[in-house]
């Protein structure tokens, strides 16, 4: 008798699950994945990404949800720590796509994680927007992968032109991480751009090291003796202070110029006055910002106690891009594979998107056409707008 009763209950439950009424009553939640380095070598990058995402979600919740086709949907962030490792970033993307059913992913930030993670996103036909990855391989031949920043083939010549115009130098040195896709790729692009302007051999020292190295004295000694007038070093913010201080201790007198990987809010606190007066290419400058950019900076600073770096601003823009693409689909079906494709198609069609890091229209490769900013670290340790360079 007990067995019959249990079977009856089971049958009733099954019938409820399978009825059209039950399906229609099921709530559809839009899930957005965040793949960020919350631990590892560059945790400040992950923190800025997470904080920007939380502000974005706060706005969605205040509005009562994300409106698509006249209906409001609850939004949930699925935040995964990629530990600043390529394999962890790949694992995070796989989990969010196959287990969490995210509609789109924002991140990873750095190319070291974004290049391999982009392969996973594209394989599963899921939109991935990397806010900060400038390596061209991140989006190459991957229709579902986009980015919110300029590319290294653009950034390298921008830096070479800036140094030439600003200092009238003709001999440069480069110090880069040979094990890092971003650093290695940008060093190669810069070298090609510099030698195109100043002739073969005008990069008089081209020195490398490997991730986790902390002693650069051998490479820097070679650079000091090379006759170089400027040192270009496309390293992450945690490595820059070591390079700058060791270079000065070994007698380097010229400027050291960096790339967008310098733009962390933690750079100045780690480097101190040694970095004042130096330049780097970036996506925006906080000091002197206006309009929507300043509004974001003020709100972020009020909430978290410090000025957001470019990673936070780019993450904000990437989430706003995802938001607009989802809305432009006009409808959420609840069938995640179908909705992912609709978001991808809508994202590719966005034109003249007004981001806080600049206006964006995507190329066929999913890369935005946008300007670069040359930032000067002023005497107060602020990231100050110096000049811009546009395609």
User: What pLDDT sits at residue 53?
Assistant: 98
Distance, CA of 319 to chain centre = 11
Query: Residue 325 is encoded by which pair of tokens?
Result: 């693409």
Query: Residue 263 is encoded by which pair of tokens?
Result: 């733009």
User: What pLDDT sits at residue 25?
Assistant: 42
User: What pLDDT sits at residue 369?
Assistant: 86
Query: What is the rounded CA–CA span in Å between residue 288 and residue 224?
Result: 35
Within a 13 Å sphere around the CA of 76, how many CA atoms are in the beta-carbon half? 12
User: What pLDDT sits at residue 286?
Assistant: 87
Give the model confidence (pLDDT) of 9-55 as tens digits: 555 444 444 444 333 345 899 999 999 999 998 899 999 999 999 99
Query: Residue 126 is encoded by which pair of tokens?
Result: 């899921």
CA distances for 137 relative to 66, 111, 113, angstroms: 32, 9, 11
Q: How far apart are the first and last CA of the chain?
A: 79
**Range list of H helices, 305-362:** 310-328, 336-348
User: What pLDDT sits at residue 5?
Assistant: 53
Within a 13 Å sphere around the CA of 339, how many CA atoms are in the beta-carbon half? 21
Give the model confidence (pLDDT) of 57-98 as tens digits: 999 999 999 999 999 999 999 999 999 999 999 999 999 999
CB 241 within 8 A of CB 274: yes
Taking the CA atoms of 143, 56, 369 and 327 in sequence, report the sign of the dihedral they define: positive
CA distances for 229 relative to 38, 82, 188, 378, angstroms: 37, 38, 19, 21
pLDDT-flagged residues of the chain (< 70): 1-26
Neighbours of 313 (CB within 10 A): 29
Q: What is the 3-state secondary structure (H, E, C) of 200-226?
A: CCCEEEEEEECCCCCCCHHHHHHHHHC
User: What pLDDT sits at residue 3?
Assistant: 52
Query: What is the rounded CA–CA span in Å between residue 253 and residue 256?
Result: 9
Query: What is the rounded CA–CA span in Å between residue 166 and residue 376?
Result: 12
């Amino acid at each position: 008798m007990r067995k019959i009763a249990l079977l009856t209950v089971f049958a009733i439950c099954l019938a409820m699950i399978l009825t059209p009424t039950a399906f229609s009553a099921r709530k559809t939640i839009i899930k957005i994945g965040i793949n960020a380095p919350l631990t590892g070598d560059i945790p400040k990058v992950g923190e800025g990404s997470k904080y920007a995402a939380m502000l974005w979600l706060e706005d969605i919740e205040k509005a009562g949800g994300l409106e698509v086709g006249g209906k409001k949907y609850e939004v949930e962030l699925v935040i995964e720590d990629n530990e600043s490792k390529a394999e962890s970033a790949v694992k995070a993307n796989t989990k969010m796509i196959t287990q969490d059913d995210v509609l789109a992913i924002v991140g990873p930030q750095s190319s070291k994680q974004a290049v391999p993670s982009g392969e996973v996103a594209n394989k599963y036909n899921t939109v991935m927007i990397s806010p900060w990855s400038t390596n061209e391989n991140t989006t190459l031949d991957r229709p579902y992968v986009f980015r919110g920043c300029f590319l290294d083939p653009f950034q390298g010549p921008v830096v070479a032109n800036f140094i030439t115009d600003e200092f009238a130098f003709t001999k440069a040195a480069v110090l880069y991480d040979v094990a890092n896709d971003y650093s290695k790729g940008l060093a190669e692009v810069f070298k090609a751009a510099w030698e195109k302007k100043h002739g073969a051999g005008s990069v008089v020292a081209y020195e490398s090291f490997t991730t986790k190295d902390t002693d650069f004295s051998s490479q820097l000694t070679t650079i000091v003796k090379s006759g170089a007038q400027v040192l270009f070093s496309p390293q992450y913010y945690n490595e820059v202070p070591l390079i700058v201080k060791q270079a000065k201790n070994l007698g380097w007198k010229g400027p050291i110029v960096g790339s967008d990987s310098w733009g962390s809010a933690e750079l100045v606190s780690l480097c101190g006055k040694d970095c004042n007066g130096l330049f780097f290419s970036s996506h925006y400058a906080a000091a002197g910002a206006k309009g929507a950019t300043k509004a974001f900076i003020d709100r972020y600073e009020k909430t978290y106690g410090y000025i957001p770096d470019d990673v936070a601003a780019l993450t904000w823009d990437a989430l706003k891009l995802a938001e607009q693409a989802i809305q432009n689909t006009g409808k959420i079906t609840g069938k995640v594979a179908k909705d992912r494709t609709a978001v991808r198609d809508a994202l590719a069609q966005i034109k003249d998107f007004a981001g806080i890091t600049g206006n964006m229209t995507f190329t066929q490769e999913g890369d935005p056409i946008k300007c670069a900013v040359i930032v000067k670290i002023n005497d107060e340790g602020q990231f100050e707008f110096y000049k811009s360079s546009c395609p």
